[in-house]
């Protein structure tokens, strides 16, 4: 089986590509390295890395013609919900236009699509979110993800495109980009601690999220490669924590390794207050099981991060500067 994996330098793509290679699959990993690092890209006899900006429609068409993949696992995205209102053009190009280019070729070559959407499509509803809740995204990132979901459904109805949708949330693990100042909250907390800076919590810190270990995602994705069509699954942890609890955990673990930092609070941002999902469907159909121990996961991430080079934190070019938060001002 030939499998395309987009975002192969990111958390999900890097880990799942390694998993596929270990299972003997031929993998073509695609990434433009705008949000990941070449050091995170896997290597192997059956692995081909293609550095490509997927906005380039003709290049995408050429790549599909050359390899004619059986399955596309589409992880590539710029997943910064809170930042997306300030970078609308960048958000829609990276999360929507790129996906449209890929869907075009999947229709042509009858390539099955596994699309990683997001919990962001649910918006500010009452958790835990179930897959049958009507999406009501409150930011451009969630809108882009939901638009792709809708387009996949239409492509299935008109062209018979096979697809499945996964809505993951707050995933953690090695090969995560902790040097992005706008996304991956625990990664941001860890980077701050390693640099001797205060851990900054937005607002009152009572926002709740459920964080899960990347290793529990591998088998459910495997089942979606060949089984099921037109299905949507939430995948993630059941137990949720406040960001205050998470900040204290990172602070405590950092102190264990000699990094003593304070916790500070900044102005609140436009975001969903409480966001976590119900996973009954994935447990029933995909035999999904998550046994994440958050403190152990944070500690393993911290130890991994200590061994990484101190990479430069990249600033985005804001398209809208009105009401930009103080902590994001360049």
* Per-residue pLDDT tens over the stretch 105-127: 999 999 999 999 999 999 999 99
Decide if 201 contacts 244 (C-beta within 8 A). yes
Tokens standing for 257? 């390794």
Q: Is 131's pLDDT higher than 80?
A: yes
Q: Which CATH architecture has domain 2-171+212-235?
A: 3-Layer(aba) Sandwich (3.40)
Decide if 186 contacts 250 (C-beta within 8 A). yes
**Residues 278-302: what's their mean pLDDT?**
97
Q: Could you tell me which residues are beta bridge partners of residue 164?
A: 114, 231
Residue 59 pLDDT grade (very low, low, confident, very high; cuts 50, 70, 90): very high
At residue 279, the pLDDT reads 98
The overall average pLDDT reported for the chain is: 97
* Per-residue pLDDT tens over the stretch 244-282: 999 999 999 999 999 999 999 999 999 999 999 999 999
Q: Is 330's pLDDT higher than 90?
A: no
At residue 63, the pLDDT reads 98
What CATH code would you report for 178-209+240-275+294-316?
3.90.25.10
* Per-residue pLDDT tens over the stretch 13-27: 999 999 999 999 999
Domain chopping of the chain, boundaries: 2-171+212-235, 178-209+240-275+294-316
What SS3 class is residue 57?
Answer: helix
Number of H helices, E strands in the chain: 10, 14
Asked if the domains 2-171+212-235 and 178-209+240-275+294-316 are classified in one and the same CATH topology, the answer is no
Give the burial string for 31-54 (b: 16+ CB within 10 Å, else e): bbbebbbeebbbeeeebebbebeb
Closest CA to 82 of 168, 147, 140, 12: 140
């Amino acid at each position: 089986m030939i499998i395309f994996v987009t975002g192969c330098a990111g958390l999900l793509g890097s880990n799942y590509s390694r998993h596929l290679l270990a299972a003997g699959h031929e993998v073509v990993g695609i990434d433009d390295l705008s949000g990941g690092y070449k050091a995170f890209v896997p290597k192997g006899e059956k692995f081909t890395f293609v550095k490509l900006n997927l906005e380039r429609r003709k290049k995408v068409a050429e790549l599909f013609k050359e390899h004619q993949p059986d399955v596309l696992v589409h992880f590539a995205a710029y997943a910064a919900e809170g930042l997306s209102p300030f970078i609308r053009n960048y958000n829609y190009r990276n999360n929507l236009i790129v996906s449209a280019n890929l869907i075009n070729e999947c229709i042509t070559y009858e390539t099955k699509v596994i699309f990683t959407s997001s919990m962001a499509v649910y918006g500010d509803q009452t958790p835990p979110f179930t897959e049958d809740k009507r999406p009501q995204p409150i930011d451009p990132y969630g809108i882009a993800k939901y638009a792709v979901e809708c387009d996949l459904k239409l492509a299935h109805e008109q062209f018979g495109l096979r697809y499945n949708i996964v809505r993951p949330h707050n995933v953690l693990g090695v090969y995560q980009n902790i040097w992005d100042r706008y996304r991956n909250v625990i990664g941001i907390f860890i980077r701050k601690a390693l640099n001797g800076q205060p851990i900054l919590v937005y607002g009152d810190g009572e926002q709740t999220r459920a964080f899960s270990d990347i290793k529990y995602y591998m088998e459910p994705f495997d089942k979606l490669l060949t089984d099921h069509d037109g299905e949507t699954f939430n995948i993630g942890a059941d137990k949720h924590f406040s960001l205050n609890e998470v900040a204290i955990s990172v602070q405590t673990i950092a102190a264990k390794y000699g990094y003593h930092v304070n916790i500070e609070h900044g102005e609140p941002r436009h975001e969903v207050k409480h966001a976590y999902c119900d996973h009954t469907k994935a447990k029933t159909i995909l035999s999904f099981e998550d046994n994440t121990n958050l403190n152990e996961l944070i500690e393993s991430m911290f130890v991994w991060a200590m061994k990484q080079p101190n990479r430069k934190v990249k600033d985005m070019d804001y398209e809208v500067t009105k009401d930009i938060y103080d902590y994001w001002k360049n």
